[in-house]
Structures are given as C-alpha cells and as structure tokens.
Amino acid sequence: MSLSQKVLAVNNDLPIRTDKPVHSGKVRSVYWLTEADSRRLIAEKNYPVAADAPLAIMVISDRISAFDCIWHGERGMNGVPGKGAALNAISNHWFKLFREQGLADSHILDIPHPFVWIVQKAKPVMIEAICRQYITGSMWRSYSKGEREFCGIQLPDGLQKDQKLPELLITPSTKGILKGIPGVPEADDVNITRKNIDDNFAAFNFRNPADIDLYEKLLKEGFDTITNELAKADQVFVDTKFEFGYVTGSDGQEKLIYMDEVGTPDSSRIWDGPNYREGRVIEKSKEEFRQQLLNYFPDPDILLNKDRMVERLALAKDNALPEEVLMQVSATYTGIAETITGQKLVLSDNPKAEILSILADQYGLID
C-alpha cells in the first residue's frame, strides 16, 4: 500500500448519520449527531453529561496547514502520515493528566478510534489563550523592532532571541471577529489585554468575572503540568495555545473545561533540551515545517506578508512538496507523540475503513 493511501486527507465525507451540515476546519471535521442518537449514546455509554446534551463525532485528518494554507506533497500525498493520530494521542494524554490532577475536564467523552473523538457541545470562550515561557516567533520579531508592550504586559530591555522569559506570560487574542467591544478591533486574532477581558467578560462568553481568574489558573497549571512532564524527557515547552468552553454536567451545573487540543506540535512550540542548552534550537513542532517552507521557496515574504495572501494560496495549491519534507514532519510528530505518551504509535493502513466499521458496529451511527 502506498504512503498516500495511509494518509487520511479528506474527513468530511463519512456517512455518519447527522441532520446538520458537517463543519470542516483546517484539520478536524465535526459531525453533529441527531438528538435521538445523542440521547441514545448518553444512555448506552453512561456518559457523564446532561441527558439532552448535543454530541458530535470529531474526526481528525492528516492534513497540514501553515501560514493559513493547506499543503500537499508529491505522489498524491495530501497530508502527513501519522500526524492526525499523533495529535489526538498527545491531546488525549494531556487531557487525562489534567483531569487526574483535578484541573478541569475536556470536551471529550469517548475515543472510539485513534482518529476519532466523541465530544459534547461546548459554548466556547472567545479567546485564543496563548502562554509564552520563551521569547521567540512573532513576539521576538516585534520585540526586536523595539516593541516592549504585549497584551498590556511590559517586557524589559535586553532580552535575547529564544531566551527564557522572567515569568510565564499570558498573551491572549480574539477567537473570531468580535463586535462592539471598546478598544478591540473587529478582526480575527487580535491581541487583547486582561483589562479588555475584565471590562467585557460577557462579550468573551465568560459567565462571571470569577471565571476569568479560573481561566488564568487553568492556563498556568496546565502549562506547568506539561512543562514538568516534558522536562522528564529533556524537552522544552516553549509556548502554547489553550482554548476553553462551558458545558453542562449530568448534575445540571455549568463548568469551564479545556477544549480543542492541548500541548500538541500544532498548537505549541517544543524544543529539544540538549540542543537548546548548547545554543541550538531544534523544533519538535509545526514550527519545523514553517521553517522548511521559508527555506524552500525563493521569496519567503509571500509566506510572511498578509498582503500577499492571493500569491500564498497559489503557492500552496501549485507546489507539491518533496516527499522527504512531509516524511520529516511525520517523524517529528510521531516521535514527540511516542516520547510524551510512552507508547508506540501504530499507524493504520486504512483509517477511513476502520472508523466506519467501529462507528457502525459499536455505536450504530452509520446509515
């Protein structure tokens, strides 16, 4: 079987029973179950949620996005072998650890297959919660141009590229376009301050002001948990993105949970510890792929300049990347997944057929 056949690139065409449109993002597709199927599974599987909670099947893919584009490779490789399974395995590991340590639950109720989550519907907090322990990436680029204030936080002079920051910084940005919030531009992914959130907590979907403190606590404790675990494997947790939402439990009470994914190579930067101590940055995350793209194309400004988005989309569409580029990404993702989970990542020869078989036989969700 060819490598391209082992890649799950298209994940929005599964015959899962649903009465709503399939929502497909850059990496995951979401199938909202019918009310009857949601109620049936909650009862059959004894999920700890309200009896009328809406459920969804979330199917990950092996697609890879960078610079707001989806990329593909030679010989029909429309994704990265093992990437989807690696992302899910890593998230599953951290979500479980957070729950065991009493931090918060996640949106995941069941894991029928390495590519599949059964989740409960959450009302998202409209914040991309970014935590930074080191100065690198976009923050370094701004700092090196003289900027010293980030999301209302003042940084000292004299910091060097890739050095550890004096303290963990929370630098949130908007999730989606939010309208009517004083001082917050009506655009996706704009930086905001803690004061913006405090003054407009309801606009960001927080239930009450106290939950802003809880969100920051869960951010810091989640970040510290991952940092400490990665340190045992001599890996450096550099920065990450968390997302939160509200769900209603079986007791009828609303609670704040972690959602989306956590601590993965897609949502985080991870560096190799021994190399970092010797002054070299070896990426164990998507940042490696971004750097490969910047080095591969003769005009990297197309990838960095938002005003050249039309050219960038054409670049991604018209250029099949060398197989070795995608296989290097595969090795990075599967390698860090095995380091984090302590388990060998077994890749499926035909993930789509496996998913359909399980969802039909064990969950009764395939028409």
Identify the pLDDT of residue 4. Answer: 65
Distance in angstroms (rounded) separating the CA atoms of residues 246 and 178? 18
Mean pLDDT by 10 residues, the chain (367 residues): 77 96 95 98 96 96 96 94 97 98 97 97 96 95 94 95 96 93 91 95 96 97 98 98 94 94 97 97 96 96 95 97 96 97 92 96 95
- Could you write out the three-class secondary structure of 83-129? HHHHHHHHHHHHHHHHHHCCCCCECEEEEEECCEEEEECCEECCEEE
Task: For the chain, give the number of residues.
Answer: 367
User: What predicted TM-score, i.e. pTM, was given to this entire model?
Assistant: 0.95
Identify the pLDDT of residue 2. Answer: 66
Identify the pLDDT of residue 250. Answer: 86
Q: Which domains does the chain have, with CATH numbers?
A: 3-122+349-361 (3.30.200.20)
CB 6 within 8 A of CB 349: yes
Distance in angstroms (rounded) separating the CA atoms of residues 94 and 86? 13
Identify the pLDDT of residue 349. Answer: 86
Which token pair is 124? 């998202």
Distance in angstroms (rounded) separating the CA atoms of residues 316 and 266? 18
CA distances from 51 to 54, 57, 58, 250 (A): 9, 17, 20, 7
